[in-house]
């Protein structure tokens, strides 16, 4: 009858030796996990698209849209344009958006809009922009209450929000309802005969203007 040849691997060892081996195995796994986590964080971070909305982009109005704004009298003009955005992986996207444009007197407008800084400017990524440009003001269509879209009512001569009843006059001044501030003016400029606007999304439900993004 043959006899079995034992090796050191067949001997489980004493309880102390077993305990030490278990400790070393667990320690090795723990250290490996920490190293793996340290490598994973920057790798995963590099895969997350950077915020493409950190800087605003100017969107041109068509010649017809700018002409309609220049011809505005006692009511706002709905100005439609293409809002372009791009993230790290997808090609540039173009989305149809609109704003409200009004023609106004700067002194009167700033007097009516008590919720705006006396300087007549608002901060944005490039520093500050002038609220009234060439006697025009561009108003965001987003209600400062909870993000619905007020509609201009000719007979009432007011912007009226269909969601919760907030109302604003022609200058965007808050006159009724739960909105915490007036309608938000947006950047506007004219350059080489082309009118450009910049979309800014502000936080809803707060009295201060906190920029959320430069995309829709």
- The predicted-structure confidence for 100-133, as pLDDT tens digits, reads as follows 999 999 999 999 999 999 999 999 998 999 999 9
pLDDT score, position 102: 95
Mean model confidence pLDDT for the chain: 82
pLDDT score, position 45: 42
pLDDT score, position 202: 96
Q: Please check the confidence at residue 149 and state whether its pLDDT lies above 90.
A: yes
pLDDT score, position 124: 94
What is the share, in percent, of the chain residues with pLDDT greater than 90? Answer: 58
The domain 52-213: what is its CATH number? 2.102.10.10
Q: Please check the confidence at residue 27 and state whether its pLDDT lies above 90.
A: no
pLDDT score, position 37: 47
Q: Please check the confidence at residue 43 and state whether its pLDDT lies above 50.
A: no
Per domain, the residue ranges of the chain are 8-47, 52-213
pLDDT score, position 89: 55
pTM over 0.85: no
Kind of pairing between the strands at 136-139 and 151-153: unpaired
**SS3 labels along 4-61:** CCCCHHHCCCCHHHHHHHHHHHHHHHHHHHHHHHHHHHHHHHHHCCCCHHHCCCEEEC
How far are the Cα atoms of 85, 117, 128, 188 from residue 121, in angstroms, in the given order?
25, 7, 6, 12
Structure tokens at 133: 């440009």
SS3 69: helix
């Amino acid at each position: 009858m043959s006899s079995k040849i034992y090796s050191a691997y067949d001997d489980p060892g004493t309880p102390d030796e077993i305990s030490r081996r278990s400790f070393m195995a667990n320690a090795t796994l723990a250290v490996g996990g920490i190293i793996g986590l340290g490598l994973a964080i920057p790798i995963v971070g590099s895969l997350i698209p950077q915020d493409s909305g950190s800087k605003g982009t100017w969107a041109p109005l068509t010649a017809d849209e700018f002409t309609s704004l220049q011809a505005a009298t006692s009511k706002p003009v709905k100005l439609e344009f293409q809002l372009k955005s791009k993230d790290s992986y997808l090609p540039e996207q173009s989305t149809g958006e609109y704003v409200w444009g009004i023609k106004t007197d700067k002194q009167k407008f700033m007097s009516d809009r008590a919720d705006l800084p006396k300087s007549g400017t608002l901060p944005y990524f490039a520093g500050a922009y002038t609220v009234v440009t060439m006697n025009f003001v561009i108003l965001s269509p987003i209600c400062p209450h909870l993000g619905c879209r007020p509609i201009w009512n000719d007979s009432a001569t007011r912007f009226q929000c269909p969601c919760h009843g907030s109302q604003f006059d022609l200058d965007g001044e808050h006159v009724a309802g739960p909105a915490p501030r007036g309608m938000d003016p947006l950047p506007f400029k004219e350059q080489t005969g082309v009118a450009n606007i910049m979309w800014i999304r502000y936080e809803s439900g707060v009295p201060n203007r906190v920029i959320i993004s430069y995309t829709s």
